[in-house]
């Protein structure tokens, strides 16, 4: 009975997904409310919420994908937050993370459990085996590749957004701060881990050009960061602990 479910958890009310969907603009992204301009931060929050609610199919996915793709700048490699705006390091996550969430949902390669997007380990291994059996190497790469240029994004974060005195920033000439440090690093994790997994042995062997791994800009042993869940933006091992204790 839907009504009893909603009473036990009001966040599952269908009206929530309906309101979020109404915030999608003609461009494809999401505004703070209906008829507002599409913005990267609101777009990520809207998409991640719909992913948690298992209601992504209620929006125009193709239009959203096109809007996200157009936010990565061809020269700088980073993302801007709105149409005709400059690149800003924080959108490495708001836009790059949204693309990762959308790719993950589109591939159907993970299973929602509770509030996270991590697949149950046994199920993940089973699906990976199925992919290996069904797809040759070229098809597998095309299926697993993230829908933005991850090397260009990593390059922008590491060479342009990184301050020589530590911390990260919006862009060169801007000061470093905790906010931009957080979301630049979050975007870096998405670019390095979202479509293919890096394991400790791979890093130790510096196997950055292995066809079964994400591409890493620069020295793998120095530049790689921890893997995060793109929906929740926290380390995957924390998500696993949460799910094991509460769901």
Instruction: Supply the residues annotated as catalytic.
Output: 39, 82, 85, 88, 90-91, 170, 177, 180
- What's phi and psi for 113, nearest 5 deg? -145, 115
Residues 31 and 235: their CA atoms lie apart, in Å, by 28
Other C-beta atoms closer than 10 Å to the C-beta of 238 total 13
Residues 245 and 247: their CA atoms lie apart, in Å, by 6
DSSP structural state of residue 146 = -
Q: C-alpha distances in angstroms, 66 versus 3, 26, 27, 28, 70?
A: 36, 11, 8, 7, 6
CA 168 to chain CA mean position, Å: 19
Residues 216 and 25: their CA atoms lie apart, in Å, by 34
Residues 93 and 100: their CA atoms lie apart, in Å, by 9
- What's phi and psi for 120, nearest 5 deg? -60, 135
Residues 41 and 165: their CA atoms lie apart, in Å, by 27
Helix %, strand %, coil % of the chain (to 5): 55, 5, 40
The neighbouring-strand residues paired with 30 are 24
């Amino acid at each position: 009975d839907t009504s009893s479910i909603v009473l036990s958890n009001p966040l599952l009310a269908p009206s929530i997904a309906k309101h979020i969907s109404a915030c999608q603009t003609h461009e494809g992204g999401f505004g703070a409310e209906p008829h507002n301009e599409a913005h990267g931060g609101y777009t990520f929050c809207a998409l991640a919420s719909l992913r948690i609610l298992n209601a992504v199919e209620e929006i125009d996915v193709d239009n959203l994908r096109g809007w996200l793709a157009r936010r990565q700048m061809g020269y700088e490699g980073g993302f801007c937050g709105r149409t005709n705006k400059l690149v800003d390091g924080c959108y490495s996550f708001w836009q790059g993370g949204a693309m990762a969430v959308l790719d993950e949902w589109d591939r159907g390669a993970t299973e929602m459990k509770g509030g996270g997007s991590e697949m149950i380990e046994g199920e993940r291994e089973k699906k990976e085996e199925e992919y290996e059996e069904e797809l040759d190497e070229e098809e597998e790469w095309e299926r697993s590749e993230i829908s933005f240029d991850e090397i260009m994004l990593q390059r922008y974060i590491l060479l342009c957004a990184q301050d020589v005195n530590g911390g990260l920033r919006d862009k060169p000439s801007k000061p470093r701060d905790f906010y931009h440090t957080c979301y630049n690093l979050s975007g870096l994790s998405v670019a390095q881990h979202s479509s293919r997994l890096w394991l400790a042995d791979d890093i130790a062997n510096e196997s950055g050009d292995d066809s079964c791994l994400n591409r890493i800009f620069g020295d793998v042993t120095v530049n790689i960061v921890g893997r995060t869940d793109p929906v929740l933006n926290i380390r995957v091992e924390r998500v696993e602990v949460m799910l094991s204790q509460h769901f």
